[in-house]
Chain A
């Protein structure tokens, strides 16, 4: 604190109450959140317009509002072929963005993402085991077994890391180190499975690790959307506590927030979101890392806005990646997981540089 600083409040808070000034401050951010949502809508419409059958953005927008105005072929293309694909990008991006935001706050680490602590790798291992050994207990189809196994492994990974950390009274840094060790271990097991897999299973495994929206369908989309819809209200219930946690772990603990319990609940929720998102599209990197960074830059860290903002930023990134996957090589749809990494790395570096300059 320096006495050379103005003793009176600046013009923005001088004449009005702090509450009123803060309300205006929050309203500006709400407008930015709404703008982000609008950008997502535009992106989805553009995503729907892009494909082998040439459709204009206006045709698509009109067709979404009045499906009856479309001819039968266009209706099928928009509603049955492209919409599940575009919406899957949206829902998976939102799930990974939300999971990344919660992870970064819970672990107090801006480099955390659903892949930190090996949660993403565990989901991949769960899926790999089902693919390689063709496991189908009680006659459950692969469409059920794959996400189920991915979730069980993801949750187990989170629990293993947390239990180890709790038993040793470890700090957040140690939790992250345990997670990184687990990540390498799980990747090695997945590598071993690839080594023993037959040609057919190996192809499925490679396809999974590339991440692709091509497997999207309405029923899968509804399941991922249901998990997101289930998790988001619980995430928002913890918005105040998570905001307070950003003020410092000791400060949060001193006001009565049970930080360890909050961290456990958040990691379980992240496991669920990640497993559901990855189960049907395979590994998608960077969305969970970059989405929250964009939201933080635009909206700050009041989690009432930061959490939905991260979901929207994740959705926007994924939707843009979907557009790029269809546009980069004419006539070819690249696996979206490759595109997110290609686009994500330069975007992430530019974000870091921007932050460096602003600081």
Chain B
């Protein structure tokens, strides 16, 4: 299993967001954090890989061009968790997940699907939410249901757009740990867009840093993180310390005046 990105360019209307992004093969079992300031194209990159945005360039999953895969096959092999939380409708969690699988996988036996749902609720520790309405859940609970909806399909490539944005510390660790264990166990690849650099460094094998100019850096957290990079990309003065486990820890001190725009 590997993921290759060749000259990827994506834009909204006439405004380019990502230009000529190329990545050498991302190896199987990897968890890659996609980091960078607001509006540099983290979500855009994931959407292009998920096939929900038009793009130029070549994307290959395990040698197969994603663009050439039939719509349904691509949706099965690539699991995308959007940044938006599942809608607060009157659906109960179980039927939200069951219907999403049934809508495109008529070939799956009901028995197989039920077992997969049972397993994902247990793995994520959210069994108590199964028969609760989405409208009666907190944002964090709905985020967990959205994640279950993606993981239950067992995709080869996981694209998670800020999967822990609505979660407290316990559930942030729970989610990222589940994703890391899963990729190591089955050799799948996960790309996780995040604003939490320390959490990303802790759980991800590599950091992919996007800046206004495109791809800024990619590599293991200890190699990529530097005060210089954080000043250039994020417009902040920050120190990189080493925690007691020997992992890099970013301590941001202050924003550089005029060093960063929200364009």
Answer whether A255 and B71 are a contact pair too, CB < 8 Å, given A9-B128, A243-B91, A243-B99: no
* B33 interface contact, C-beta 8 A: no
Do residues A251 and B86 form an inter-chain contact, with CB atoms below 8 A?
Answer: yes
Partner of A254, one of B52, B72, B134: B52
Do residues A22 and B130 form an inter-chain contact, with CB atoms below 8 A?
Answer: yes
Do residues A8 and B80 form an inter-chain contact, with CB atoms below 8 A?
Answer: no
Q: Which of A1-23 contact B (CB under 8 A)?
A: 1-3, 5-10, 12-13, 17-19, 21-22
Do residues A19 and B89 form an inter-chain contact, with CB atoms below 8 A?
Answer: no
Cβ of B103 to closest chain A Cβ, rounded Å: 4
* B184 interface contact, C-beta 8 A: no
Partner of A255, one of B90, B91, B104, B133: B104
Q: What total of chain A residues lie within 8 Å of the partner, measured CB to CB?
A: 41
Do residues B50 and A246 form an inter-chain contact, with CB atoms below 8 A?
Answer: no
Cβ of B63 to closest chain A Cβ, rounded Å: 21
Answer whether A6 and B131 are a contact pair too, CB < 8 Å, given A247-B91, A252-B100: no
- Residue among B79, B84, B95, B138 with most chain A CB within 10 A: B95
Answer whether A247 and B89 are a contact pair too, CB < 8 Å, given A1-B171, A9-B127, A13-B131: yes
- Residue among B84, B89, B94 with most chain A CB within 10 A: B89
* A47 interface contact, C-beta 8 A: no
Do residues B167 and A1 form an inter-chain contact, with CB atoms below 8 A?
Answer: yes
Do residues A302 and B104 form an inter-chain contact, with CB atoms below 8 A?
Answer: no
Cβ of B50 to closest chain A Cβ, rounded Å: 6
- Residue among B71, B81, B82 with most chain A CB within 10 A: B82
Cβ of B123 to closest chain A Cβ, rounded Å: 13
A359 contacts which chain B residues (CB < 8 A)?
A: 135
A189 contacts which chain B residues (CB < 8 A)?
A: none
User: Bound state CA distance, A243 and B75, in angstroms?
Assistant: 18
* B-contact bits for A59-75, CB 8 A (1 contact / 0 none): 00000000000000000
Do residues A247 and B150 form an inter-chain contact, with CB atoms below 8 A?
Answer: no
In chain A, what residue has the closest Cβ to B97?
A247
B140 contacts which chain A residues (CB < 8 A)?
A: 1-2
Do residues B153 and A255 form an inter-chain contact, with CB atoms below 8 A?
Answer: yes
Do residues B103 and A302 form an inter-chain contact, with CB atoms below 8 A?
Answer: no
Partner of A241, one of B82, B103, B150, B153: B103
B100 contacts which chain A residues (CB < 8 A)?
A: 244, 247, 251-252, 255
Answer whether A251 and B82 are a contact pair too, CB < 8 Å, given A246-B89, A256-B72, A300-B90: yes
A301 contacts which chain B residues (CB < 8 A)?
A: 89-91
- Residue among B75, B133, B138 with most chain A CB within 10 A: B75
* B26 interface contact, C-beta 8 A: no
- Residue among A240, A253, A255, A296 with most chain B CB within 10 A: A255
Do residues A247 and B138 form an inter-chain contact, with CB atoms below 8 A?
Answer: no
In chain A, what residue has the closest Cβ to B122?
A18
Q: Which of B133-160 contact A (CB under 8 A)?
A: 133-135, 138, 140-141, 143-144, 146, 149-150, 153
Do residues B149 and A247 form an inter-chain contact, with CB atoms below 8 A?
Answer: yes
* B117 interface contact, C-beta 8 A: yes
In chain A, what residue has the closest Cβ to B82?
A250
Cβ of B74 to closest chain A Cβ, rounded Å: 7
Answer whether A17 and B99 are a contact pair too, CB < 8 Å, given A9-B127, A246-B91: no
User: Bound state CA distance, A240 and B110, in angstroms?
Assistant: 13
Do residues A25 and B82 form an inter-chain contact, with CB atoms below 8 A?
Answer: no
Do residues A296 and B117 form an inter-chain contact, with CB atoms below 8 A?
Answer: no
B95 contacts which chain A residues (CB < 8 A)?
A: 22, 243, 300, 302
Answer whether A1 and B150 are a contact pair too, CB < 8 Å, given A6-B128, A25-B92, A247-B89: no
* B178 interface contact, C-beta 8 A: no
In chain B, what residue has the closest Cβ to A20?
B114
A268 contacts which chain B residues (CB < 8 A)?
A: none
In chain B, what residue has the closest Cβ to A262?
B103
Do residues B76 and A256 form an inter-chain contact, with CB atoms below 8 A?
Answer: yes
In chain B, what residue has the closest Cβ to A302?
B95
B76 contacts which chain A residues (CB < 8 A)?
A: 256
Q: Which of A310-359 contact B (CB under 8 A)?
A: 359
User: Bound state CA distance, A196 and B106, in angstroms?
Assistant: 55
- Residue among A108, A252, A256 with most chain B CB within 10 A: A256
* A258 interface contact, C-beta 8 A: yes
Cβ of B244 to closest chain A Cβ, rounded Å: 25
Do residues B94 and A18 form an inter-chain contact, with CB atoms below 8 A?
Answer: yes
In chain B, what residue has the closest Cβ to A243?
B99
Do residues B52 and A253 form an inter-chain contact, with CB atoms below 8 A?
Answer: yes
Do residues A251 and B146 form an inter-chain contact, with CB atoms below 8 A?
Answer: yes
* A257 interface contact, C-beta 8 A: yes
Answer whether A302 and B91 are a contact pair too, CB < 8 Å, given A22-B131, A258-B71: yes
Answer whether A1 and B138 are a contact pair too, CB < 8 Å, given A18-B127, A246-B87: yes
User: Bound state CA distance, A5 and B140, in angstroms?
Assistant: 12
Partner of A5, one of B81, B118, B128: B128
Do residues A247 and B96 form an inter-chain contact, with CB atoms below 8 A?
Answer: yes
Partner of B71, one of A1, A2, A22, A256: A256
* B-contact bits for A293-311, CB 8 A (1 contact / 0 none): 0001000111100000000
Task: Please give me the 7 A-B residue pairs with the lowest Cβ-Cβ distance, nearest first.
Answer: A256-B75, A243-B99, A1-B140, A250-B82, A19-B114, A248-B87, A240-B103
Q: Beyond the given A13-B131, A22-B98, A251-B86, could you list 13 further A-B residue pairs with CB under 8 A, ordered by the A residue number? A: A13-B127, A18-B114, A21-B130, A244-B99, A246-B96, A248-B82, A250-B84, A254-B80, A255-B103, A256-B72, A257-B103, A258-B71, A300-B90
6 A-B pairs (CB sep. < 8 Å): A1-B143, A243-B103, A247-B86, A247-B91, A248-B82, A251-B100
